[in-house]
A and B are shown apart, each in its own frame.
Chain A
Amino acid sequence: MTVALARRLTLTVSGFGLLAVAAILTSPLVGSTHISLRRAFDRAIPFADNVDAQIFFIARLPRTLAGALVGSLLASAGVVFQGLLRNPLATPFTLGVSAGAALGAMLAITFSWSFAWAGVSAAVAASFLGSLAAVGIVYALAQARHRGLSTNVLLLAGVTMNAFFSALILFVQYFADFAQTYRILRWLMGDLDISSYQPLVSALPLLIVSFVSFAWLARPLNLLSLGDESAETRGLNVVRAQRTAFVSASLATGAAVSVGGPVGFIGIVVPHLVRLIVGPDHRLVLPASALFGAAFLVGCDVLARTVMSPIELPVGVITALIGGPFFLWLLVRKR
């Protein structure tokens, strides 16, 4: 344990990094149709005639990258929420923050809002604002109970928020036309079925800002595990750290949901497995969760595309089938 942190960090990042890279490289090759990498990259064949290249670059690669992006964002946002609320069961999904983001994104899609600001599209911005609103409610709750949220309050608040936002989502859906409805329904389950790079590019600014904030937050989150007051007397500006954490976790959730919908349970499964391997230090848990989250969701999506081939399931179905029982197990195990 006394091994210097720098070395453990290198080991952690390279280990989980390899896993993520392996998942991202393998995933586009797997699917209901077999493709040949050689043909896909063969420049002699024009792209319009090259089915392998089309499947690779249009169907599978953006989807794989979307999985990596969404997985790493939701997993690290989970870590931040858990550290912030001092409760290992807090995640964007269980807190209802994902649902808030989904509502925002849905409003933008249904009513075809089309503004863009600094490269951030309306859907991404609305998704961020939705998650920020949900997080604001959680923050107010946590402040009112200034000893951190107990598991009971946390779960009840999450259930309530999810029900509330779901009702609003159903209401908005009423305004969507028939074709949109099917697409929205799939997306609401958590679906990576995108066929362009545009949503990824649009979410990128949020990803960058939130990851930079997370890097700064790693050590403050360690101190916050001691309790607000102990953290403060150790020299941490607690209010600033908490606000940074809330806003950056909202950014991450907003970006992830705008791309893949409210994919559930990544934020709980990934950080817990990571802590079993690297321990509780957030300086290791955060980068490891971001990388493992990417690998995990890409892996789940491969399953989603292949288990019932040629039918492709929304990836949220797979993560829920894995994450649901995992969550219950954690709840039972918790003293």
Chain B
Amino acid sequence: MAHWRGYELLQAVDVVAGYPGRPSVLHGVSIEVPTGGFVGILGPNGSGKTTLLRALAGVIRPARGHIRLDGHDLTPLSRQALARRMAVVAQETHLAFDYSVLEVVMMGRYPHLATFEIEGPEDFSIAREAMRATGTLQLQERQFDTLSGGEKQRVIVAAALAQISGAADDGILLLDEPTVALDLAYQLELGELLRERQRRVPLTIAVSTHDLNFAANLCRTLVLLKDGHVLAAGSTDDVLTSEHIRELYDVEADVTRHSPTGRVIVIPVRRSPARSQS
């Protein structure tokens, strides 16, 4: 257990956020991402998962409330300083030109270089380590665009790991619906990769996802978002209940434990009876 400092590593405090010219998406959301935690953000389409993640990443500024890193507001931090601590894995990545895998991973080193500085041997060894950890080292000469969806996602994770390498025990990885474009084998592979990485190095992870079983399998704490509000938050076992799932998705689901693995699993049974035409 990390020493309690009176604040969590990354916090959203009463955040109201959205996009210019449109009604706000988040209406006062507070969440906590503890050091070394693995936090899942769950919710239906339009609930504000991605918006929350973008606010946490500093890509959009809250209209009200704060994002705090180490207890301090994110706003005065430079993009570059923030990028050395926190990396984001986007849902999908399309490149405009034919970069090789190694070149894509090396782009993660951008915030560590001065204006006209060129990557040195240390950056290459960090990139190689990140590729080894994600099983992409043998792909390094390949063109990124020729890879499968799962391979691409692993390469982007490698770039993210290379980006926050050197952040000591404070590196943060945010993933935005990482399994959307992946088939089953790659989903399992990505989950295993993240878990394994957290076992080896101190790393804090927050992930937004649709996939209840992916979240149940990996996340230690969950935040349930509905219509821009936090419906429930806490340890996975406490939060992932039939009642919450009904409220969140209007779906009747059985939540049980899979006996061979001891994992919590969610079995959606049917759509909840329509709650009147209100």
Contacts and interface: CB of A to CB of B under 8 A. Distances in A.
Interface residues of B, number: 37
Nearest to B113: A219
B95 interface: yes
Nearest to B102: A1
B119 A5 contact: yes
B80 A86 contact: no
Contacts of B140: 1
A233 B93 contact: no
Interface string B34-58: 0000000000000000000010011
A235 B82 contact: yes
Interface stretch (A12-20, A223-231, A302-310, A313-321): A223-231
Interface stretch (B104-112, B187-195, B219-227, B241-249): B104-112
A109 interface: no
Contact of B98 (A6, A82, A83, A280): A280
Looking at A4, A82, A232, A283, the one whose CB has the most chain B CB atoms below 10 A away is A232
Nearest to B99: A280
A181 interface: no
Contact of B103 (A82, A227, A236, A281): A281
B96 A233 contact: no
Interface stretch (B9-17, B83-91, B230-238, B256-264): B83-91
Contacts of A82: 96
B214 interface: no
B102 A275 contact: no
A129 B103 CA distance: 37
Contacts of B82: 235
Given A233-B57, A234-B163, A226 B115 contact: no
Interface residues of A, number: 33
Contacts of A5: 118-119
Given A5-B119, A227-B90, A236 B110 contact: yes
B186 interface: no
Nearest to B57: A233
B141 interface: yes
A174 interface: no
Contact of B79 (A215, A216, A222, A232): A232
Interface in B155-188: 163
Looking at A5, A82, A232, A234, the one whose CB has the most chain B CB atoms below 10 A away is A234
B82 to A, nearest CB: 7
B103 A219 contact: no
A163 B94 CA distance: 32
Interface string A202-240: 000000000000011001001111110110111111000
A223 B107 contact: yes
Contact of A235 (B93, B94, B98, B110): B110
B102 A223 contact: no
B94 A227 contact: yes
Given A4-B118, A86-B96, A88-B96, 4 more contacts: A1-B103, A5-B119, A88-B97, A232-B79
12 contacts: A1-B102, A1-B103, A1-B140, A148-B96, A232-B79, A233-B57, A233-B83, A234-B87, A234-B107, A279-B99, A280-B97, A283-B118
Those 4 A-B pairs whose CB atoms lie nearest each other, nearest first: A235-B83, A235-B111, A280-B97, A86-B96
Interface of A: 1-2, 4-6, 82-83, 86-88, 148, 215-216, 219, 222-227, 229-230, 232-237, 275, 279-281, 283
